[in-house]
Amino acid sequence: MHRRFAFTALLAALVLGQAASTSANTVFGNLGASGTDAVGGLNEDTGPNANPVKFVAQGFSAASPNLAVTSISMWLFGDPSSVTLGIYADNSGSPAATPLFTSNTQQVGAKDLYSFSFSGANLSNGVNYWVSPVNSDVSWYLASNAPVGQNASGYTFTGARESTGGAWTPSNFNSWSMSVTAVPEPSSLAIVSVGIAMAGLAVARRRRTPA
């Protein structure tokens, strides 16, 4: 009886742990563990109509477990501007030509921390990605330091790139404000759910087996 009670308690703890793991968490950035830290006044104009034309991208390497990005936040200023963010695959150390995933479009006006939501943006362990506004004209603020993995995510910074419309080159800055929020992707949750269900089924069978 005591063993059954202990196993039932363990199973309940696993279920509660899985439920907690589904909540969104900051995994990468330079706006603190909460993803909401303020920044100073240093910014640069980016986009196809910037003078001069300038595109900026910031990169990171994903870690285990596989996660799904739910939102990316940046400190921005617009005039106002319609802004969309893209998550790009890595192409020889620079962003690929087209994004893998795009966010909702936000109207960016006064300086503020703008959050862009994503759906189905599943990232793979050990793969490099880039984040950049997609052909959007906006002023992007810099933080005081380069982005890092947050909340023990294991994510790492891979650098910043800029382009004037041609090849990507190393950026003069590596601290563009950014915070990436993610949850375990559905397939990872499904594996955990199956394991918990099988453990519960095993307990139920043992209870029905005569002594």
Tell me the percentage of the chain whose pLDDT exceeds 70. 78
Q: What is the spatial distance between Cα 187 and Cα 69, in angstroms, rounded to a whole number?
A: 14
Q: What is the spatial distance between Cα 78 and Cα 9, in angstroms, rounded to a whole number?
A: 53
Q: What is the spatial distance between Cα 105 and Cα 144, in angstroms, rounded to a whole number?
A: 27
Confidence of residue 189 (pLDDT cuts 50, 70, 90): very low
Q: What is the spatial distance between Cα 52 and Cα 56, in angstroms, rounded to a whole number?
A: 13
pLDDT of residue 207: 54
Confidence of residue 185 (pLDDT cuts 50, 70, 90): confident
Q: Which residue has the higher pLDDT, 6 or 89?
A: 89
| Inter-residue contact 101 to 86 (CB < 8 Å) | yes
**pLDDT surpasses 70 at 206:** no
Confidence of residue 120 (pLDDT cuts 50, 70, 90): very high
Mean pLDDT of the region 136-162: 98
Say whether 204 sits in a helix, a strand or coil. helix
